[in-house]
Structure 1
């Protein structure tokens, strides 16, 4: 049974965030990292010269975010509200599950340091372009939006658990 069929969709705020930052491209293009991309940042199996419809772009986005959310669900060990899960799914969609898996963001989150985890989003604003690591303004804005979504309705500590 594929993981994606058992994974609940991400919140609409996360879908809207990804649509805003990715933009819609019905013709394949190369992203700043040189990867063939189409729709709302879809990369799997994309060929230069390929075209799609709006409906196909929406379907690709649903599949990609469901896959990203499945990775978030697999990697996190603490309760997440829908906004936190959506922000992390956007992060994984953009950077890959491996980036989250090896991150201080995940370490802090799984240690129940939600505030510390939120502060880590802003460190992921670089892209390698032509062999050179560059800070991209679009990534700065995206990480700020993800952090804001992550913090918009933070899970409260369980009864009997106190904060530091």
Structure 2
């Protein structure tokens, strides 16, 4: 069932909306060197360093590679434990991409989803609202958008992304 799932267009648009794409490495709000679509490491190995540059094509390819290799499988392992809609899968991949595969695997979102308690899983997205130990308004909105996608509330998703994700 879930092995055939992959993040759909809404999930990809959601991640792109919140990540933006930077072709020159910068420090994110937590001070971590970041490049492309919010990447802190490269698919071939190695951490992003300030001064690194990439092309748009490289950013897009690395994003797709990391989703397929690192994040979708982490979510698929959870999705195999309970019926999972494409929207739920995409929302969980978006969360995993932002908090890391290990963070996702240990999250209450993953735990409640695997148990089939979808309403509880939906509420747990909101717990991931900090970066560098500080609650961030952007993360509050991002988690609300991911939760909206998870519950297939596309109207709320559209509102939370200022009409960019429909």
**Could you say whether these structures have the same fold, taking a TM-score greater than 0.5 normalized by the shorter chain as the test?**
yes
- With the length of structure 2 as denominator, give the TM-score of the two structures: 0.81
* CA displacement 1:45-92 (0-9 Å, x = unmatched): 322111111111111111122221111012331121111111000101
Contact 1:7 1:70 in 2 (8 A): no
Alignment partners' CA distance in 2, 1:119 and 1:80 = 17
Residue 115 of structure 1: aligned partner: 119
Residue 164 of structure 2: aligned partner: none
Please state whether the residue corresponding to 2:29 is helix, strand or coil. coil
For 1:11-160, what aligned pairs fall within 5 Å after superposition?
A: 11-44=8-41, 45=46, 46-66=48-68, 67-76=70-79, 77-128=81-132, 133-152=133-152
* CA displacement 1:115-164 (0-9 Å, x = unmatched): 11001111110112xxxx210011111101100000007xxxxxxxxxxx
How many residues align? The count is: 144
Stretches (4+) displaced over 2 A: 6-9
Instruction: Report which of the two structures shows the higher radius of gyration computed on alpha carbons.
Output: 1
For structure 1, the residue ranges without an aligned partner over 5 or more in a row are: 1-5, 154-164
For structure 2, the residue ranges without an aligned partner over 5 or more in a row are: 154-166
Please state whether the residue corresponding to 1:49 is helix, strand or coil. coil
CA-based RMSD of the aligned residues comes to 1.6
Alignment partners' CA distance in 1, 2:49 and 2:6 = 27
